[in-house]
A and B are shown apart, each in its own frame.
Chain A
Amino acid sequence: MTRDTDAAPTATPSTTAPAQTMTPSSASAAPGAPAPQPSLLRPPQISWRWWPVFRRNLLVWRKLAVPSLVGNIAEPLITLVAFGYGIGALIGQVQLNGSAVPYILFLASGSICMSAMNAASFEALYSAFSRMNVQRTWDGIMNAPVRLDDVVFAEMLWAAYKSLFTSAVILGVMLALGISHSPMLILALPLLGLVGIVFASIALIFNALAKGYDFFTYYFSLFLTPTMFLSGVFFPRDQLPGVMRVISDWLPLTAAVELIRPLFLDQWPAHGLRHLAVLAAYGVAAFWVALALTRRRFRN
Chain B
Amino acid sequence: MIQPLFEVVDLTKRYGGNTVVSQLSFSIAPGECLGVIGPNGAGKTTTIRMCLGLTSPDSGRIRYFANGAATQNSASLSMPQDALAIKARLGIVSQFDSLDPDFSCAENLLVFGRYFGLKDAVIKERIPKLLEFAALTHKADAKLGELSGGMKRRLSLARALVNDPQLLLLDEPTTGLDPQARHLMWERLQRLVQQGKSILLTTHFMDEAERLCNRLLVLDHGKKMTEGTPRELIAQNLEPDVVEVYGAGALALVDSPLKALAARTEVSGETVFFYTADAKALLAALSEHPELRTLHRPANLEDLFLKLTGRQIREAA
Contacts and interface: CB of A to CB of B under 8 A. Distances in A.
Contacts of B266: none
Interface in B18-76: 52, 54-61, 66, 69, 74-76
Contacts, number: 155
A125 B135 CA distance: 37
A72 B211 CA distance: 54
A99 interface: no
A135 B102 CA distance: 10
Nearest to B55: A300
A192 to B, nearest CB: 27
Interface residues of A, number: 53
Contact of B129 (A7, A18, A299): A7
B191 A5 contact: yes
Interface stretch (B114-122, B219-227, B232-240, B268-276): B114-122
Contacts of B132: 7
A42 interface: no
B56 A35 contact: yes
Given A7-B133, A8-B192, A32-B9, A16 B112 contact: no
Interface stretch (A141-149, A179-187, A246-254): A141-149
Given A9-B126, A12-B164, A24-B76, A140 B117 contact: no
A9 B164 contact: yes
Interface stretch (B91-99, B249-257, B295-303): B91-99
Interface string A29-43: 101111101000000
A25 B69 CA distance: 14
A147 B115 CA distance: 10
Given A23-B82, A59-B103, A135-B101, A144 B94 contact: no
A2 interface: no
Contacts of A140: 94, 98-100, 112
Interface size grouping (class) on chain B = 35 or more
A22 interface: yes
Nearest to B11: A32
B88 A17 contact: yes
A144 B85 contact: no
Chain A residues touching B, majority SS: loop
B85 A143 contact: no
B10 interface: yes
A116 B132 CA distance: 45
Interface string B122-143: 1001100110110000000000
Contacts of A272: none
A5 B132 CA distance: 11
Nearest to B75: A24
A29 B117 contact: no
Nearest to A63: B102
A59 B102 CA distance: 9
Chain B residues touching A, majority SS: mixed
Contacts of B74: 24, 27
A136 B98 contact: yes
A212 interface: no
A32 B119 CA distance: 37
Nearest to A25: B78
Given A20-B88, A25-B77, A32-B61, A9 B130 contact: yes
Contacts of B59: 32-34
Interface string A238-261: 000000000000000000000000
A19 B58 contact: no
Given A14-B122, A56-B111, A143-B52, A19 B75 contact: no
Contacts of B285: none
A55 interface: yes
B88 to A, nearest CB: 4
Contacts of B130: 9
Contacts of B99: 140
Contacts of B118: 14, 16-17
B89 interface: yes
A9 B196 CA distance: 12
B195 A10 contact: yes
Contacts of B182: none
B269 to A, nearest CB: 37
Interface string A262-300: 000000000000000000000000000000000000111
B81 A26 contact: yes
A157 interface: no
B84 A147 contact: yes
Given A9-B161, A145-B85, A135 B98 contact: yes
9 contacts: A11-B125, A24-B75, A25-B81, A35-B57, A59-B111, A139-B94, A140-B98, A140-B100, A142-B54
Interface of A: 3, 5, 7-14, 16-27, 29, 31-35, 37, 49, 52-53, 55-56, 59-60, 63-64, 135-137, 139-147, 298-300
Given A17-B88, A24-B82, A49-B117, 9 more contacts: A8-B195, A9-B161, A11-B129, A19-B88, A24-B75, A25-B81, A29-B78, A143-B52, A144-B88
Which 8 residue pairs spanning A and B have beta carbons closest together?
A140-B98, A144-B115, A52-B114, A136-B98, A145-B84, A143-B92, A25-B78, A17-B117
